[in-house]
Chains A and B, each alone.
Chain A
Amino acid sequence: MKARTRQIAFERTALIVILALYLMPVLWLVTTAYKPPREIFSSPPVFGFSPTLFNFERIFAMFDVWALLKSSLIISLGTTVLSLLLGVPAGYALARSKSRYAILVAYFFLAIRTVPIIATLIPFYLMMRDIGLLGTWWAVVMINTTLNCAFVTWMMFSYFRALPRDMEEAALTDGCTLWGSFYRVALPMVVPGIIASALFCIMFSWNDFLTPMFLTGPDTKPLSVALLAAFGTKDITWGTLGALAHFSTVPIVLMALFLNRYFVQGLTKGVQ
């Protein structure tokens, strides 16, 4: 028994050390935002600092932070809603179909998830230019929805497949319509899966940078694009960048920490 306690103690110490090393860069980012510029650029680097909100004042003076946040929100919520509307019914249909093509279609959706964005982004960019949607949120939502809808379809396919059919069949014999057996019987049982899918879509499109960089305009760019654009200007310092990064990082990190159960489900189940 004593060996066991010792082993647990060893495991925990190891984990704490790894965790500390691991989170150091994140801690650096967070603290940098509260440092005055002269401490950030001191050489050699100093470790202690005198906290200030100077960097936050700067970014609010330099950027329309609320507009950037709004863009990020519109893009990620739009993508998520659209992906769920398309993907959840499709996942159900593929899981319940007895056709031998169903599994092929499911694998087709999985394959779409692995497509490198560069292969679709260029033709899509030209398409959007031709129909005049370049520079709008729509363009980003549309292309992000393909990858996310494919992901949601595959994920819900595995959730629905794991669900026994008896309940739906009982509902049908009791006079429920086909839609009712999907909407009122099957759907409520996979709510955790839907939450996990939604978290994933939100995270993916919130963090996405390449597609909005080329598809949005100055008024529609989200936080991720502004971060890099800001990096190019000469009066940006790591402090202001850290402050801006707060807005792009904190919401997602908090979401993942608080909805940890669903987040972990999404990460493990979504890839199976």
Chain B
Amino acid sequence: MTSTSAGSIDLASPRASGLRFTDRRKLFLVALALPAIVYVVLVAVWPLAQGIWYSFFDYNLLRGGGRRTFVGLDNYVALWADATARRAVINTFLFTFGAVTLEFAVGLGLALLLWRDGRFNRICLAFLLIPVTITPIVVGLIFRALLAVDYGFLGYYLAEWGISGPRGFLANPTAALPVMILIDVWEWTPLVALILLAGLKSLPTDILEAAAADGATALQRFRLVVLPLLLPTVFLALVLRVMDAFRVFDIIFVTTGGGPADATTSLMVYGVKQGLEFFNIGFASAIGNLTILCIALMCACFTLLIRRADVRANER
């Protein structure tokens, strides 16, 4: 490339602006990144900080004219003592664990079924993704109607055949949470399948063919070749779903509203109820912070697990 003409830039020489090229480049990149950073700090981080601040106050908009009194950690102590809050924590973890486990198991099966490349599989995948795109509250409404005891397609027969009890699964304290899990599984399994499928398709084909040529059975190939190579994708799918399942709100809010008797109350449902319905700002902020803390802890655990899996994979 002949770059000695007058208009060209020598990458290292000072320009009319007086700044070295590398510095101008730095400034340019900062200028591109800054609006987004400033925006997110102002509209997300600032409220987050305020939420932490509010959690140390007795602050209720409906009581005492919205006055704030500093109470230290009292909201967190109250959270600990609050039976509904304890239930919400347990429910949220149970929900997350149950939903993600099932979504992973079924999603992996679906991904393996869809692995072979072809028009048929592509069309199937496109239609399978419909639940992912449907408005979550519509998903909740669909299942609420389907499970209705007197006219719902599922609910009527489940009650008639004595499976769900006469008032239906949604009114049954022991069955309601598993039903929420199944609805979440319905909505999000295709997403897990899709992520795993993308992982399967990016596997090096020569290794798979070599394993097949060596006479490994399908199960052996899956367990010894596919699964270890797929591990990063598996983690990705799990992390993503755990983070999202832990924030479950819409389907629960619409189908049971957290009932019966707190059986399906999740941290988000309880937080929204306390904060935006009862305007119990201090307490609700404590719930929000607890949710963030749980998510951060799970993130940390995942990072450690991934690192360990990486180390093991490298040792081999």
Contacts and interface: CB of A to CB of B under 8 A. Distances in A.
A252 B284 CA distance: 33
Say which size band chain B's interface belongs to. Answer: 35 or more
Contact of A25 (B28, B48, B146): B146
A193 B114 CA distance: 24
Interface in A116-156: 116-127, 142-143, 145-147, 149-150, 153
Among A22, A32, A248, chain B packs the most CB atoms within 10 A around the CB of A22
Interface in A93-113: 93-94, 96-97, 99, 105, 108-109, 111-112
A214 interface: yes
B141 A257 contact: no
A52 interface: no
Nearest to B281: A122
A178 B24 contact: yes
A115 B48 contact: yes
A170 B1 CA distance: 9
27 contacts: A19-B124, A19-B127, A25-B186, A26-B130, A28-B142, A28-B146, A44-B160, A45-B152, A90-B36, A93-B30, A109-B36, A116-B246, A118-B271, A118-B272, A119-B47, A119-B289, A121-B275, A121-B276, A125-B276, A172-B9, A207-B136, A227-B141, A245-B138, A260-B126, A267-B195, A268-B195, A268-B198
B204 to A, nearest CB: 18
A94 B124 CA distance: 37
A26 B313 CA distance: 43
A40 B124 CA distance: 30
A227 to B, nearest CB: 6
Contacts of A241: 141, 145
A19 B11 CA distance: 57
B133 A253 contact: yes
A186 B180 CA distance: 45
B43 interface: yes
Nearest to A152: B36
B220 interface: no
Contact of A178 (B25, B152, B160): B25
B265 to A, nearest CB: 13
A23 interface: yes
Interface in A247-272: 248-249, 252-253, 255-257, 260, 263-264, 267-268, 271-272
B33 A122 contact: no
Nearest to A95: B29
